[in-house]
A and B are shown apart, each in its own frame.
Chain A
Amino acid sequence: MEPSDEALCERVARRDEAAFDLLVSRFQERAYRLAWSILRNAEDARDISQEAFIRLYQTAGSFRGKSKFSTWFYRILVNLCLDHKRKHKWWKLWVRDDVDDRGDTILDRQPAPVNDPVDKLSRDETLKALGSAVDRLAPRQRAAVLLRVQEDMATYDIARVLKCSEATVRVHLHRALATLKKTVEKH
């Protein structure tokens, strides 16, 4: 039977390198994707997600098992991402947000599943606008939305990641989705 994430974390605290490698393999894609969704830059996402794994290695002993390992790890990761965004806020004044590091827009990154070209265009336009609107959300609102949508996390777990109450998460989500709804309604 595969060891649980929590059991692996305990082994990492005892400096078990194999357990660390296994945890990295399990979480690398999710960590990188979440970091990228918040930071919108592949290089930063790689650096920050790797830094989160280093912090995990260094502080595994402080994981008490009161929450799921994923919640504890996402807290480290999201905090690093939010700190990074805060430190590099000024840079955003000079860089367009809706173009990523490959020069692709959100539209370029979308799959093209729809048959009707008109519908497809309209849908792509809406998705593009929606993606840009997500990028413009306040950092914690954006983090709450991403944890809900990408990681399918419950309000309780999002609250633990963002270190706030469930009521605050509900407000973050409500406000963020109200903003995004307006964007959709415009299209």
Chain B
Amino acid sequence: MARHPDTDLVPYLRGELPPAERERVARHLEECPDCKQDTELLRDLLGNLAHAIGQPPAVSWARYRAELREKLEARRAQVRWWRRPMPLALSASLAGALLLVAVWGGRELSKSPDSIGPDEVVIGRELGLLQEFRTVERLDLLEDLEVISNLDRLGSERQS
């Protein structure tokens, strides 16, 4: 005997199965008393379920629709904050502040490559001193330190 068509029984009872499948299930039910009994139980069960689930408490539909209308109106009023129209003065102030920040930030950025901090000045002064240390004098970097410390002079020599 073929496998029991357990999951096909509900669609079979509702007449949903395509003809070939329906025929297969019907043939199985003729041969299998257990499945036939199951099908009858399912038929009763589906019939009783509607009663078993019951009906909800009554509702005033006019009130239901009025509530729904209120909720819908409230939802429409909840425009997202970034879409809300901003008062003109507030918008102008915000734009001004942004402009100020942009200009000030731009000036700071353009100034920064020329400005030298106090730490850098101290290190620059000590470049010559670093060369005195035997432990560091062979570092490749120090080959460049001489060039770096004499950049001004090299520049003026090249110009002349």
Q: Interface on A for B, CB 8 Å cutoff?
A: 21, 24-25, 28-29, 32-33, 36-37, 42, 45-46, 50-51, 53-54, 57-58, 100-102, 106, 109-111, 126-128, 130-131, 134, 145-146, 148-150, 154-156, 167, 170-171, 173-174, 177, 180-181, 184
User: Residue B14 at the A interface, CB < 8 A?
Assistant: yes
Partner of B11, one of A100, A109, A149, A155: A155
Given contacts A50-B71, A127-B48, contact A32 B56 (CB under 8 A): yes
CB pair A32–B64 under 8 Å, yes or no, is yes
- Closest chain-B Cβ to A5's Cβ sits at a distance in Å of 17
Partner of A170, one of B7, B50, B59, B67: B7
**Residues in chain B near residue A21, CB distance under 8 A:** 65
User: Residue B150 at the A interface, CB < 8 A?
Assistant: no
**Residues in chain A near residue B75, CB distance under 8 A:** 54, 58
User: Residue B25 at the A interface, CB < 8 A?
Assistant: no
Given contacts A167-B7, A171-B7, A174-B10, contact A180 B57 (CB under 8 A): no
Secondary structure type dominating chain B contacts: helix
**Residues in chain A near residue B14, CB distance under 8 A:** 148, 154-155
**Of B38-46, B85-93, B138-146, the one touching chain A:** B38-46
Partner of A24, one of B48, B49, B68: B68
Given contacts A154-B16, A167-B7, contact A134 B52 (CB under 8 A): yes
Given contacts A24-B68, A50-B67, A155-B16, contact A184 B45 (CB under 8 A): yes
User: Residue B54 at the A interface, CB < 8 A?
Assistant: yes
Q: Interface on B for A, CB 8 Å cutoff?
A: 6-11, 14, 16, 38, 41-42, 45-46, 48-57, 59, 61, 64-65, 67-68, 71-72, 75
The answer for the CA separation of A51 and B54 in the assembled complex, in Å, is 23
The answer for the CA separation of A154 and B10 in the assembled complex, in Å, is 10
CB pair B45–A100 under 8 Å, yes or no, is no
The answer for the CA separation of A148 and B10 in the assembled complex, in Å, is 10
CB pair A110–B72 under 8 Å, yes or no, is no
Given contacts A54-B68, A126-B48, contact A134 B53 (CB under 8 A): yes
The answer for the CA separation of A109 and B6 in the assembled complex, in Å, is 32
The answer for the CA separation of A28 and B66 in the assembled complex, in Å, is 12
Report the nearest A residue to B6, measured CB to CB.
A174
**Residues in chain A near residue B51, CB distance under 8 A:** 110-111, 127
CB pair A45–B11 under 8 Å, yes or no, is no
**Residues in chain B near residue A28, CB distance under 8 A:** 61, 64-65
The answer for the CA separation of A110 and B46 in the assembled complex, in Å, is 16
The answer for the CA separation of A102 and B59 in the assembled complex, in Å, is 13
Report the nearest B residue to A57, measured CB to CB.
B72
- Closest chain-A Cβ to B63's Cβ sits at a distance in Å of 10
CB pair A174–B68 under 8 Å, yes or no, is no
Report the nearest A residue to B74, measured CB to CB.
A54
The answer for the CA separation of A42 and B57 in the assembled complex, in Å, is 7
CB pair B45–A180 under 8 Å, yes or no, is yes
